[in-house]
Amino acid sequence: MPTISPEPLPATAREVHKQRQVAESFGANVERYDRTRPRYPDAMVERIVASSPGPEVLDVGIGTGIAARQFRAAGCRVRGVEPDSRMAEFARRSGFEVEESKFETWEPAGRTFDAVIAGQTWHWVDPVAGAAKARQVLRPNGVLAVFWNGAQPPMELAERFAEVYTRLVPDSPFGRTWLRPVADAYKAMSAAAEEGIREAGGFAEPQKWRVDWVQTYTREEWLDQVPTMGGHNLLDAALLAELLTGLGAAVDAVGGAFPMGYSTEVLVASSA
């Protein structure tokens, strides 16, 4: 998902992880986050699991456990690393062992894993230090897999969404992002991750692939999710309410429900 920035944007995609006010805001309402955030396509999970040499998985930025539950259902044993204590506690309630730390400073204590995954979180990790830490904990032929869900509504609705953001939150990138092709959503962050993997060393050449899918939202379902997107819960409450009213009117104008086109962008590298 795109991110509203209440701070100046970093100079490059490699520095997004420094934007800590946004990075540490997602746990404001963990129940809503877990309830509304999109899952990942089963085909993606199955392909990553098939490429892993074993079932031991480390989930970087496990959050509420959305991706972790999917990998567990596919037969993996998942441990999490999560800097937000609120999200870590929620994931523990789903039965995961979660250690509270930023990944770059997390102490693995000699433990190793068959796969390191990161769903919608790797841009909050220093791309070089994160890749180096992943290489440290991966077993031979282990897999680092990072992935993001990019979203694109139908063009008519995208234009209406963009107008609402431009009018109410003119500094928000949402006014521009909704109008871009879905494949562009995380292109810069994926490129930064790829560059970080190469710079860290110890990996085979990274491979990129994507899975396209569609999820239909009602007006109520979409407005329930919007406050979980990066930076929205840092907006003034009155402004957020006005924003939701405008977005709701936009959905009403196209019939009260819409198909959201998702593109799950995946970057995979095997430890050399």
The alpha carbon of residue 59 and the mean position of all alpha carbons in its chain are separated, in whole angstroms, by 12
Which tens digits make up the pLDDT trace of 117-139?
A: 999 999 999 999 999 999 999 99
For residue 184, is pLDDT > 90?
A: no
pLDDT attached to residue 24: 58
**Is residue 186 one of the residues assigned to a domain?**
yes
Query: Which residue type, as a one-letter code, is found at position 67?
Result: A
Which tens digits make up the pLDDT trace of 55-67?
A: 999 999 999 999 9
**Is residue 93 one of the residues assigned to a domain?**
yes
Q: How many domains does the chain have?
A: 1
For residue 21, is pLDDT > 60?
A: no
- Provide the residue range defining the domain that includes 197: 16-151+181-214+262-271
Largest CA distance in the chain: 56
Of the pLDDT bands very low, low, confident and very high (cuts 50, 70, 90), residue 188 is confident
For residue 101, is pLDDT > 90?
A: yes
Determine the Cα–Cα distance for residues 208 and 190; give it in Å rounded to an integer: 9
Judge whether 175 and 166 are in contact, CB under 8 Å: yes
For residue 10, is pLDDT > 70?
A: no
pLDDT attached to residue 9: 36
Q: Which residues contact 16 (CB under 8 A, 6 or more apart)?
A: 10, 123, 124, 189, 192
**Is residue 228 one of the residues assigned to a domain?**
no
Lowest model confidence (mean pLDDT) among 118-127, 162-171, 180-189: 180-189
The conformation of residue 186, written as its DSSP 8-state character, comes to T
For residue 19, is pLDDT > 80?
A: no
**Is residue 89 one of the residues assigned to a domain?**
yes
Query: Which residue type, as a one-letter code, is found at position 65?
Result: G
Q: Which residue has the tokens 């490699």?
A: 14
Q: Which residues contact 54 (CB under 8 A, 6 or more apart)?
A: 114, 139
For residue 168, is pLDDT > 60?
A: yes
- Mean of the pLDDT values across residues 156-174? 92
Report the chain's terminal Cα–Cα distance, integer Å: 32
For residue 15, is pLDDT > 90?
A: no
**Is residue 256 one of the residues assigned to a domain?**
no
Which tens digits make up the pLDDT trace of 215-233?
A: 999 999 999 999 998 778 8
**Is residue 65 one of the residues assigned to a domain?**
yes
Phi, then psi, of 172 in degrees rounded to 5:
-75, 135
Residue 265, strand partner residues: 148, 210
Helices (H), 24-74: 30-36, 42-51, 66-73
Average predicted confidence (pLDDT) for the chain = 90
**Is residue 235 one of the residues assigned to a domain?**
no
**Is residue 115 one of the residues assigned to a domain?**
yes
CATH code at position 119: 3.40.50.150
